[in-house]
Structure 1
Amino acid sequence: MSEKTGDKLGFWSIVLLAINAIIGSGIFLTPGSVVQQAGSKALVVYLIAAIFAAILAISFAAASKYVTKSGAAYAYSKAAFGKKIGFYMGVLRYFSASVAWGVMAVGVIKSTISIFGGNPNKAINVTIGFLILMAIITVINLFGQKVVKYVMNLATIGKLAALVLIIIAGVVLLITTGASSNLGQVDQLTQNGQKIVPTLTTTTFVMAIVSAFYAFTGFESVASGSEDMKNPEKNLPRAIPLAILIIAVVYIGVVAVAMILNPRALMTTKQVVAIAAIFKNEILRDVILVGALVSMFGINVASSFNAPRILEAMAREGQMSQALTKRTKNNFPIRTFFISVGLAIL
């Protein structure tokens, strides 16, 4: 297969791909549920979740140093345990990645409809939105890997900018208004005469960690297209842990600001993008909403890059039809892409 080296993902593009694959809707939509479960211990919960994610990410990064073929978990399982285990892992990872893509696509459509005041439970609205989203992602991919790389990089920068803005705006508000921290009062907040945060138990603490960990998932798919990366044996082991570190710092900063400024709004809001509820400024809220939409769109583009390459990797190893290795002149795995789109739709 002929391939332009300039179209491959370099180190910083891999870092951005990892961040894009991990940061989706979780940090924008669900931090309130984590705070409601863990109360004032929410920052500790996110730190523990980050440590678990880092341990797993380092394991994947170590494997990527020795196995540079595409497929991530599939390639690693095949190299370590043989063809049969590799095949089972490949099929499992491919179907789960494609179905997860479909779920995330529906999620972004429903969230978008809700944000703009529509009915997210109306099937026709979701169907039309889903098909439009898939059409846009298909066009992006048809232009080739170079365009996909730029779109993913821009989406990642956009979502990071929105999260960093939350942190900066929160710090500025604390300094300029002289507002006191609400961090110590989180556990005592009430609504309708009842405490919002229940008494913390081992069970609720563990469940909060699981909920927070969800916001860190996605790193396991980063190496799925390693053959489309420059020096994956060198760049992946450095890029994945760095991405986790950046994300952990940003997540903890965002949750800390939310808990200090307005924990009640964070836990009780009916807004789709819960994190926006901590601010009263409408412009700031709108910017955060845009950031959330960019984030959800970006993770769908990342899924369109990762999922098809798992199936393609299996075909290159002779465990699927060789016809699935066909790429366009723009280096686009067209057949595995449309099979993945079909599974996502189903």
Structure 2
Amino acid sequence: MSELKRNIGTFGAASVGIANIIGAGIFVLSGVATGIAGPAVILSFLIAGVIAMLTALSAAELSSFITDTGASYAYTKRAFGRFWSFLVGWFKYFDYMVGGAAVSVGFAAYFTSMFGLEGALPMLLAAIGLPIILGLLNILGVKEATRTTSVMVLIKIFAISLLLMFGGFYLTQHFDVDHYTPFFATGFGGMLSGAAVIFFVFIGFNTVTMMSEETKNPQKTIPKALMLAFAVTFVLYMCVAVILVGILDWHDEAKDAHPLGNIASVISDNQMFFDFISFSALIAAGSVVLSSLLGGTRASFAMGRDRLLPHQFEKISKRFGTPYVSIIVGCLIIVIFAGLFYNNIDIIASIVNFGSLFTYLFVNLALIKLRRSEPKTQRLFKVPIYPVVPILGAASCIGLMYFLSDSAKIVSLVYAVVGLALYFFVFRKTKSTTKDNNQNNI
């Protein structure tokens, strides 16, 4: 059987995670979440970040001894078997592709605005052109893709750091306590609903664990890369939340898609500074679509190998060593959804969040199960304060799902029903092409 090439190091893997976390979400959804939660969006960021961090710790331990491509799918398969792993993989694949489509539309909006392009055609071409170009890059090789991602990461971090530096200085000179009062302007429920929406900006960390079969020494590299990616993004996001509330009027941000651009226009009248922040939003969107393809296509590759998707998904290019069928299909899904959704990133984000929270629920449950069923398995990284961390992680995932929009719950339910129908009538009796990893890793 063909094998994926192991050529990604700690920085490359962390770059993929940071790229997928620091994406269009922080450039767009931070304003939407602020409109929902008011000044308490600062706590919304904190709550969403802590919940994601709990799952990140569980994923770090699991990735230290389960190195199969598929991450949450692979963990669930080992802990709970074929049925639940199918549901987890089914939702995760959908999350990556639909999330990539939403971000492609965001990219198109920024792109057409920056270059003064009007009409539906330029918007459509930009939205579908981005995933096509990045899909080709992905087929050429994951090493080349992660090199491109690393450059994108540096640009985004520099842009946000620059914005935070000037924004922080501006805030010290123009601090207005009225911006922060009343702090719970929309109530406690509003704060939690804001957390449910803003959770979108943290979910990319799982991409790091999706590529374990392409990572050098994954038992050590994946946990390090995961924690590095999360530490960097968590600090940046909390600073963004404090400055966003301190500079902008939260009442005006409910439907605004350019919150960081608005900050730039307030703190400086330099057009080049505003353009640079807008350009960084394009880079952010591009890196998220690239990382979505990296993560999503590896999920479908793993499911194809286990015959939970058509076996063609496991085909690997002999020349480039990449799962080209999975990449092509993933690009098509992104292109289709990008053509169907315009300016509805808040709704799409909630749909993606539901699926992500569902899969992260099983990451935490898998850790608990495997600690009990495989106590002697060597783990190079162990979750601290066990079992508090995975129990809180699982409970908080369920709680946050409750505060998502009804539309997200309905769409997710319909998607689950479709998946269940496919499983029971098409894939249930098929056999995996890989051996049971339970025995291989004990």
TM > 0.5 fold call: yes
Cα distance between partner residues in 2 of 1:214 and 1:341: 21
CA gap 1:265/1:324 in 2 versus in 1, 3 angstroms: closer
Which amino acid in structure 2 is aligned with residue 186 of structure 1? Answer: H
Q: How many aligned residue pairs are there?
A: 330
The answer (yes or no) to whether the contact 1:266–1:277 under 8 Å persists in 2 is: no
Partner residue, 1:215 = 201
Larger displacement relative to structure 2 (68-77 or 247-256): 247-256
Partner residue, 2:258 = 273
Q: Among residues 235, 240, 245, which one is paired with 2:226 in the alignment?
A: 240
Partner residue, 2:173 = 179
Partner residue, 2:285 = 296
Q: Among residues 308, 325, 337, which one is paired with 1:335 in the alignment?
A: 325
CA gap 1:82/1:186 in 2 versus in 1, 3 angstroms: same
Partner residue, 2:248 = 263
Which amino acid in structure 2 is aligned with residue 18 of structure 1? Answer: G
Q: Among residues 136, 141, 153, which one is paired with 1:144 in the alignment?
A: 141
The answer (yes or no) to whether the contact 1:312–1:333 under 8 Å persists in 2 is: yes
Partner residue, 1:159 = 156
What's the TM-score once normalised by structure 1's chain length? 0.85
1:202 aligns with 2:201: no
The answer (yes or no) to whether the contact 1:26–1:215 under 8 Å persists in 2 is: yes
Partner residue, 2:302 = 313
CA gap 1:231/1:32 in 2 versus in 1, 3 angstroms: same
Shift of 1:323: 3.9
RMSD: 2.6
Which amino acid in structure 1 is aligned with residue 330 of structure 2? Answer: S
Shift of 1:42: 3.0
Shift of 1:290: 0.9
Cα distance between partner residues in 2 of 1:100 and 1:173: 34
Which amino acid in structure 2 is aligned with residue 203 of structure 1? Answer: G
Larger displacement relative to structure 2 (236-245 or 315-324): 315-324
Partner residue, 1:30 = 29
The answer (yes or no) to whether the contact 2:139–2:323 under 8 Å persists in 1 is: no
Partner residue, 1:345 = 335
Larger displacement relative to structure 2 (281-290 or 218-227): 218-227
What's the TM-score once normalised by structure 2's chain length? 0.68
Q: Percent of aligned pairs with the same residue?
A: 25
Partner residue, 1:99 = 98
Cα distance between partner residues in 2 of 1:10 and 1:223: 13
1:284 aligns with 2:273: yes
Instruction: Give CA deviations for 1:52-95 in whole Å, capped at 9, x if unaligned.
Output: 11112112222212211001121111111112322333233223
Cα distance between partner residues in 1 of 2:35 and 2:327: 40
What SS does the corresponding residue of 1:146 show, helix, strand or coil? helix
The answer for unaligned runs of 5 or more in structure 1 is 189-194
1:129 aligns with 2:126: yes
